[in-house]
Amino acid sequence: MYGFVTRLAGRLGPGLALAACLAGCTGKIDKAAGADVVVFLNAARTGDRATFEAHIDRITARDDLRAQLDQLPGVKDLQAQLGEGMAEGALDRLISPETVLRLEGAKDGAPASTLDEVRSRLRAAGKGRICLRDAEVKSRCALTFAKVGEAWKLVGLYVERQSFDPPNPHPTPVIPSSDEAVD
């Protein structure tokens, strides 16, 4: 990386080189990564379930979702009420083409993602991982991919930070007071 910055500084001058580096020198992106992400996103758009599933590391993606959801107030209580099997099924349902398209920022009827569009939104996200940045909030990582075998696969999805109160499985019965008329 140092050699790259030195060459960039020689061409642009130190100020512009620093600005360029701060804007995009977060690490190298594997050239095949962009192509795999495009294939994945277009499979989500076209309903090609086999290709969509082939580009997911479902176990890792499920673990990522679980870790994020466990941080939200009320989620652990809901999981306890539903049981482990229901919670796993709910996580699997979140890893869907609809969720991916929502996170990608795809509009209904929009053309398929191009390699140039996708590559402009990719950034390094730690060792062996890349991030597809949110279309609206550029600092947010909407989808995370990692190299698994020969392909880049989905390993993480952004979870909106919300809280909710799960339903009470044992509501307290309301007993009318003696002042209230009972029919």
Query: What span, in angstroms and rounded, lies between the C-alpha atoms of 24 and 58?
Result: 29
For residue 21, the model assigns a pLDDT of 39
**Domain positions in the chain:** 33-157
The SS3 of residue 180 is coil
- Return the pLDDT at 1: 39
Question: For residue 157, is pLDDT > 50?
Answer: yes
Percent of the chain with pLDDT over 70: 65
- Higher-scoring residue by pLDDT: 101, 107: 101
Residue 68: its pLDDT value, please?
86
The single residue listed with the structure tokens 């495009």 is 38
What does the pLDDT look like over 23-65, one tens digit per residue? 344 456 777 888 999 999 999 999 999 999 999 999 999 999 8
pLDDT tens digits for range 66-94 = 888 888 777 777 767 766 666 677 788 88
From residue 16, alpha-carbon distances to 8, 10, 19, 139 in Å are: 9, 10, 5, 22
Task: Give the pair of three-digit tokens for residue 99.
Answer: 């969720």
